[in-house]
Structure formats: structure tokens, C-alpha cells
């Protein structure tokens, strides 16, 4: 295996987690408790938490308008 492929395999599961953390931070949720629960879930259950948030939790929040 090439080093690039190994690096991709190691980095790929981290992407949904970071995407979820950033998305939770930049969205408005019905309550601060909901936002905190999603944030904790994404951080404590890496990869799977990020994927579940992006599929389910993202719909609960609204994009913050600048």
C-alpha cells in the first residue's frame, strides 16, 4: 500500500466528526440543550456521531444568518 492511501484511510473517518462539530457551532437549534447534546454526541462518538448528526441532527437546526 502506498503512504497516500494509508493516510487517506486514517483521515477519512475524522472528516464527518470535524464537519459535525463545525456545523453544530454555526447553527441555531430550538434550545441550547439540544445544541449541547448534539455537540457532545458528535465529540464523544467520533465518526459515527458525525455521520448521525449530518443525517438527522442537521435538519433540527437553522443556519445562522449574518
Q: Write out pLDDT tens, residues 21-60.
A: 999 999 999 999 999 999 999 999 988 999 999 999 988 8
Residues making up the chain, counted from first to last: 66
* Residue extents of the structural domains in the chain: 3-63
Instruction: Spell out the SS3 assignment of the chain.
Output: CCHHHHHHHHHCCHHHHHHHHHHHHCEECCCHHHHHHHHHHHHHCCCHHHHHHHHCHHHHCEECCC
Q: What per-residue confidence (pLDDT) applies to 33?
A: 96
Does the global pTM surpass 0.75? yes
Please say if the pLDDT value at position 1 is more than 80: no
Amino acid at each position: 500500500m502506498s503512504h497516500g492511501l494509508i493516510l487517506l484511510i486514517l483521515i477519512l473517518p475524522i472528516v464527518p466528526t470535524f464537519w459535525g462539530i463545525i456545523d453544530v457551532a454555526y447553527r441555531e437549534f430550538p434550545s441550547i440543550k439540544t445544541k449541547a447534546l448534539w455537540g457532545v454526541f458528535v465529540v464523544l462518538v467520533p465518526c459515527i456521531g458525525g455521520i448521525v448528526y449530518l443525517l438527522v441532527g442537521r435538519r433540527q437546526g437553522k443556519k445562522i444568518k449574518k
